[in-house]
Chains A and B, each alone.
Chain A
Amino acid sequence: MYEFEYHRAKSVDEATSQLSGADDGRFLAGGQTLLAAMKLRLAAPSDIVDLGGIAELRGIRVDGGNLVVGAMTTHNEVAASKDVAKAIPALAHLASDIGDRMVRNMGTIGGSVANNDPAADYPAALLGLGATVVTRDRRIPADDFFTGMYETALQPGELITAISFPIPKRAGYAKFPNPASRYALVGVFVSESGSGVRVAVTGAGPSVFRVPDMEAALKSSFSPESLAKVTVPADDLNTDMHASAAYRAHLVGVMAKRAVTQALGK
Chain B
Amino acid sequence: MPVKLSLQVNGKAASAQIEPRMLLLDLLREELRLTGAHQGCDTAQCGACTVHLNGKAVKSCNVLALQAQGGEVVTIEGITPADGSLHPMQAAFRDHHGLQCGFCTPGMVMSALDLLNRNPHPTRDQIREELDGNLCRCTGYHNIVSAIEAGAKAMG
Contact = CB atoms under 8 A, between A and B. Distances in A.
B47 A31 contact: no
A65 B132 CA distance: 35
B30 to A, nearest CB: 14
A119 interface: no
Contact of A102 (B19, B23, B43, B133): B133
B21 A3 contact: yes
Interface in A89-108: 99-103, 105-106
Nearest to A76: B56
A99 B62 CA distance: 13
Interface in A200-255: none
Interface string B22-56: 01000000000000000000111001001001001
A101 B117 CA distance: 13
A16 interface: no
A121 interface: no
Contacts of A28: 64, 67
Contacts of B114: 101
Given A8-B66, A39-B42, A106-B62, A3 B133 contact: no
Given A4-B20, A103-B44, A31 B64 contact: yes
Contact of A3 (B19, B44, B67): B19
Scoring B23, B53, B59, B114 by chain A CB atoms within 10 A of each residue's CB, the highest score goes to: B59
Interface of B: 1, 3, 19-21, 23, 42-44, 47, 50, 53, 56-59, 62-64, 66-67, 69, 111, 114-115, 130, 132-133
28 contacts: A1-B21, A4-B20, A6-B3, A6-B64, A8-B66, A8-B69, A28-B64, A28-B67, A32-B44, A35-B23, A35-B64, A36-B44, A36-B62, A48-B64, A50-B66, A76-B56, A99-B133, A101-B57, A101-B114, A101-B133, A102-B44, A102-B50, A102-B59, A102-B111, A102-B133, A105-B57, A105-B58, A106-B58
Top 10 nearest A-B pairs (CB, nearest first) are: A100-B133, A6-B20, A105-B56, A100-B132, A1-B21, A102-B59, A102-B57, A102-B133, A102-B58, A105-B58
